[in-house]
Amino acid sequence: MLELSKRLSLIAQFVNEGSSVCDVGTDHGYLPAFLFLSGRCRSVCATDINQKPLESAKTNLKRLGVDGVRLVLCDGLAQISRADADTVIIAGMGGEVISGIINRASFLKDHTVSLILQPTTAAKELRLFLAKNGFTIEREKAIAENGKIYSVMCARFKGQPYDIDDVKAVIGLLKNDSDDACAYIEKQYRIAQKCAIDLSGVAHKQTEYKHYLNLSEKLKNILGG
């Protein structure tokens, strides 16, 4: 059986049994290969905007003896419809790119479609986009891999835009209940603390300074003082 990295393994765990899955920006194709081989999914397809990664996915799928994954060359979900997928994975891209892909795919505005999202950067901007556009984050877990820390979130369209506070924007649903979640929160704490220190002596940036100071204190409290 194909062994996934810790990050991809966590994403795979978020996929429900019997789902029809589309992996957007698949690159190597390991995730759709694993999902297909697991026999847990009704169907699996994958897209990539670039020919080269799609070729590498094709090579890997062939090597692994996977013959049932449809590979599609397209931007995001441009060639994919609700009939192809009830679960959409968008992983390993920046939060703004992920937001753009969601924004351009109207079939995601359906409460029966699950989104599994793993931004490499700009997770805060992605959470703000989801809130503004009526997508609720239902589950979130952190995962550390190769010296980096990521968040994997499961979201769904509920239709009602909502506000999120500054803490939720930077850590989402994470709590201090695992080493990886604590590492994620700690990273956000350090970023807020550094912003506060950098702004402390800048006379015209006192509002921002107070914001980051306050945010760093709240994150420190979540970490347990």
**What three-state secondary structure class fits 186?**
helix
Q: Is 149 in the site for ligand SAM (CB under 6 A)?
A: no
Residue where the block lists tokens 């795979």: 12
CB of residue 50 to ligand SAM, shortest distance in Å: 4
If the CB atoms of residues 104 and 111 are measured against ligand SAM, the closer one turns out to be: 104
CB of residue 21 to ligand SAM, shortest distance in Å: 12
Number of residues that bind ligand SAM (CB under 6 A): 16
CB of residue 34 to ligand SAM, shortest distance in Å: 12
Binding residues among 21-60 for ligand SAM as defined by CB under 6 A: 24-27, 47-50, 53
Q: Is 84 in the site for ligand SAM (CB under 6 A)?
A: no
Residue 60 CB: number of other CB atoms within 10 A?
A: 18
CB of residue 187 to ligand SAM, shortest distance in Å: 19
| Residue 64 in tokens | 């692994």
Between CA 126 and CA 113 the distance in angstroms is: 18
List Cα–Cα distances, 120 to 76, 124, 202, in angstroms. Answer: 16, 11, 31
**What three-state secondary structure class fits 163?**
coil
Q: What mask, x for binding ligand SAM by CB under 6 A, covers residues 98 to 117? A: ---x----------------
Give 107-152 as a DSSP string. GGSSTT-EEEEEESS-HHHHHHHHHHTTEEEEEEEEEEETTEEEEE
If the CB atoms of residues 76 and 172 are measured against ligand SAM, the closer one turns out to be: 76
Q: Is 92 in the site for ligand SAM (CB under 6 A)?
A: yes
CB of residue 183 to ligand SAM, shortest distance in Å: 19
Task: Name which position in 32, 76, 95, 119 contacts ligand SAM (CB under 6 A).
Answer: 76
Asked whether the beta carbons of 22 and 88 are under 8 A apart, the reply is: yes
Q: What are phi and psi of 158, to 5 degrees?
A: -115, -15
Q: Is 91 in the site for ligand SAM (CB under 6 A)?
A: yes
| Residue 159 in tokens | 């239709």
Which residues contact ligand SAM (rule: CB under 6 A)? 24-27, 47-50, 53, 75-76, 91-93, 97, 101
